[in-house]
Amino acid sequence: MITETLEEIAMMHIDGLVIKARNGDQKAFGKIMGLWFKRIYNFSFKYFGDHDLAMEVTQKTFISVYHNVRKLQDPAKFRTWLYRIAWNQCHEEERRAKRKTWFSLFSSTEVHEREEFYMTPEKGLHLKEISDMMADMLKSLPEEQKTIVILKEYEGLKFREISEMLGISENTAKSRLYYALKGLRKMIEDNNLDINSFLYGK
């Protein structure tokens, strides 16, 4: 789509926008927020599974970015820096609320809606059942594994970026992802849940 192409082009020039925002350019900051708001919202939503908390974290993240962008030395590390702020805000919100919430792999409330397949009423009902089961499975994952799954599988960060963000080695990040996916795979098999067959007709 044309809008997606324009957004990709804008992302290629993010370094320049960051430099301008660092120098107090309000319009540049507005463009940065426009490009990244959905991504940070989706990241936060997957972390909490709650729209209100996700919006709260997203807003606080960009407030923090606005006040601290001048401290960012290397514009090329903006993405890692941004996700670190969002992650810290998630932790802060979780501590403040004194409770844990969980996200679902499939959710119609995300900003970015999925359109990979045609949704019949029967498939919609089955999808809801899968969503509930996956949410239950994810509850048993340690928090550090859940975070890795979100950052790598959903947000597309590289292991190098994740290691910088979380302050761990790349091997540790890879290990956590491995055990997280292994755990989920076992739970899926134990529950006889054939996701691929349902989604893709395999």
- Taking the C-alpha atoms of residue 61 and residue 88, their distance in angstroms, rounded to an integer, is 9
101 has a pLDDT exceeding 60: no
Where exactly does CATH 1.10.1740.10 map onto the chain? 1-101
25 backbone φψ class: left, alpha, beta (φ>0; ψ -120 to 50):
beta
CATH numeric code, 107-202: 1.10.10.10
Helices (H) and strands (E) in the chain, counts: 10, 0
pTM over 0.85: no
Confidence label for 93 from pLDDT (cuts 50, 70 and 90): confident
pLDDT digits (tens, 9 = 90+) for 150-198: 888 778 888 999 999 999 999 999 999 999 888 888 888 877 765 554 4
Q: Where in the chain is the domain with CATH 1.10.10.10?
A: 107-202
Q: Which CATH code for domain 1-101?
A: 1.10.1740.10
CB atoms within 10 A of CB 9: 9
